[in-house]
Amino acid sequence: MATGTPMGAAPPEASAKSAVIAGEGVLPVEIARRLSTRGPAPLVLTLRSDAEAFQGIADPLVRLRCPSLGRVIREVRKHGAQSVIMAGRVPKKLIFKKLLFLPALFDLFTLRILARSARDDHSLLASVVSALEGEGITVLPYWHILPEFLALEGQLGHRCPTEGERRDFECGAAVLKVTLPCSFGQALVVADGAVVAVEAMEGTDAAVKRAGELAAKGVLVKMMRMDQDPRYDLPTVGPQTIDNMAKAGLTCLAVEACRTLIVDAERTFALAERYNIAIWGLPCQCS
């Protein structure tokens, strides 16, 4: 393993029951599957419309009708889970609904958390984790469960980046070092030395699509802010990232080594080879 592995709480004992707060994507499903093979099947709490993806690997599966931290805490205690893992995408645009509709979307406990938190991703997630820990619930890093998913440094795909792609991802990395502390997001697209699109609350896929509409070429660069907590918000890429890049005309993906998860790596690299997209691991910024 390359140096700079993210730090966090110790992984759960195989005999200890954990809970997974599951957002969108394949990552929480893979985490639940891995937990169920090494110990007790985890309690899974999710808002997902395809919650059936957890059938057979969750015990129990709790479908949430609204983002309710109060309900999460009650279920964790009820089922004897000793720790929580947060993984997957959660649409953050809900927090900008008109005040009139907020009581219908969130429970009172969650509303109190939102009221005292800034609206950027970093602050929101930190507030949620702080609230869980305040209730005596340990929040664990998911990379402990899937250590082999962490990107390494250097060439990761079938081909090396071209000189032009290297210049673009070096440019992108330099820009991200400035913007990440301002909570801009985790990714941007650079083409011929120009920043074409910057990820904000809409997510990486939407930023890639916008880059395709604007330039139809370029390099996607994804990194993590220095003070970001690796327990619950490591940048993630996977087959969908590569598919979207191909549709947008992007030819290279550069990610931060040891602080980026590559989900379904075999399929990710196979798609990258099919589309002739280079994948490169940037030096870890936390070392």
Comparing 122 with 187, the larger pLDDT belongs to 187
State the average pLDDT over residues 151-178.
97
pLDDT at 19 over 90: yes
pLDDT at 7 over 60: no
Burial 238-275 (b: 16+ CB within 10 A, else e): bbbbbebbbebebbbbbbbbbbbbbbbbeebbebbeee
pLDDT of residue 98: 45
Q: Is the peptide bond before 12 cis (omega within 30 degrees of 0)?
A: no
pLDDT of residue 120: 60
Band (108; pLDDT cuts 50, 70, 90): confident
For each of the domains in the chain, give its residue range(s) and CATH number, in order of start.
18-144 (3.40.50.20), 150-282 (3.40.140.80)
Q: 80: exposed, middle or buried (C-beta count within 10 Å: 0-12, 13-18, 19+)? A: exposed
Band (100; pLDDT cuts 50, 70, 90): very low
State the average pLDDT over residues 106-126.
68
Q: Which of 55-64, 88-97, 122-131 has the lowest mean pLDDT?
A: 88-97
Q: Which of 63-77, 101-115, 202-216 has the lowest mean pLDDT?
A: 101-115
pLDDT at 125 over 90: no
- Mind listing the pLDDT tens digit for each residue in 186-234? 899 999 999 999 998 888 999 999 999 999 999 999 999 887 777 877 8
pLDDT at 255 over 90: yes
- 184 forms beta bridges with none
Q: Which of 9-13, 23-27, 152-156 has the highest mean pLDDT?
A: 152-156
- Mind listing the pLDDT tens digit for each residue in 206-217? 999 999 999 999
pLDDT at 116 over 80: no
Q: How far is CA 108 from CA 66, 69, 131, 268, in A?
A: 12, 9, 13, 41
